[in-house]
A and B are shown apart, each in its own frame.
Chain A
Amino acid sequence: MKKAVIIFIVAALVIAAAILWLMSSSGNFKPSDITSYAVIILVVGFALFIGFKKLSSARKGEPVEDEMSKKVMRKTAAYSYYISLYLWLALMYISDKVDYEVHTVIGAGILGMALVFTICWLVFNFRGVRNE
C-alpha cells in the first residue's frame, strides 16, 4: 500500500514537471520535444498501471509483492542496467556527431533508461521468469 502511494506521488510530480515544461516552451514544439512528451506519458502510464495493480492486490487481501514479482523486478533491474550502459554509450557517440545541448542529451538518456526499464518489465512480466 505504502509503495503504491509512493508511485502515485512520483507520477504526480513527473506530470507536474511535464506540465511546467509544456507551459514554458511557449508552443514551439520540435520533434524531439514531442518524442520526450510521448515517452513521459508512456512511463507515467506504466507507473500508474503498476500503482493500480499494487492497490488492487492490497484491496483483494493478496500480498502486494510476492516472490515472483520480486524476481521479475530483480531481473528487470539487472537487464535494464546492462542495456542502459549501451544506451549511454550510444548517446555519447551521437552527441559527438550531432550538436545537441548537454541537458538535451542527459534528458534523452534519463527518458531512455525509463523506457528501457518499462520494456524490460513488460517482457519479463508477460513472458515469465524461468530458471534458464
Chain B
Amino acid sequence: MNNRIKELRARYNLTQDDLAKRVNVRRETIVFLEKNKYNPSLKLAHDIASVFESRIEDVFIFD
C-alpha cells in the first residue's frame, strides 16, 4: 500500500509534528507512514484523510 501523505502535507503546509498532533500519534508514526513502513489502522487512515479533507482511497493507494 502506498500513500500521498507527504505530498498532501506539503500542500496543506503541515509539518510531520503538526500532522502527528492532529491525529494524536507520535511523529515517528508519520515518518514510518510516509516511508511506507507501516500500514495504519482504519481509524488512523480515516483521521489522516479527514485532516486533508479527502477520502481514504484518495490518500492511501491500494496496490
Q: A61-B21, A62-B21 are in contact. Are A68 and B35 (CB under 8 A)?
A: no
A54 to chain B, nearest CB (A): 10
What residues of A have a CB within 8 angstroms of the CB of B26 in the complex? 57, 62-63, 66, 68-69
How many chain B residues touch A (Cβ–Cβ < 8 Å)?
17
As a 0/1 sequence over residues 53 to 82 of chain A, the CB contacts with chain B under 8 angstroms (1 = contact) are 000010001110011110100000000000
What residues of A have a CB within 8 angstroms of the CB of B40 in the complex? 67
Q: Across the interface, do A67 and B25 meet the contact criterion of CB distance under 8 Å?
A: yes
Tell me if A9 counts as interface (CB < 8 A to partner B).
no
Closest chain B residue to A71 by CB distance? B38
Q: How large is the interface on A (under 10, 10 to 19, 20 to 34, 35 or more residues)?
A: 10 to 19
Closest chain A residue to B20 by CB distance? A62
Tell me if A131 counts as interface (CB < 8 A to partner B).
yes
Q: Across the interface, do A68 and B38 meet the contact criterion of CB distance under 8 Å?
A: yes
Tell me if A130 counts as interface (CB < 8 A to partner B).
yes
Q: A68-B25, A68-B26 are in contact. Are A128 and B20 (CB under 8 A)?
A: no
Tell me if B28 counts as interface (CB < 8 A to partner A).
yes
Closest chain B residue to A65 by CB distance? B26
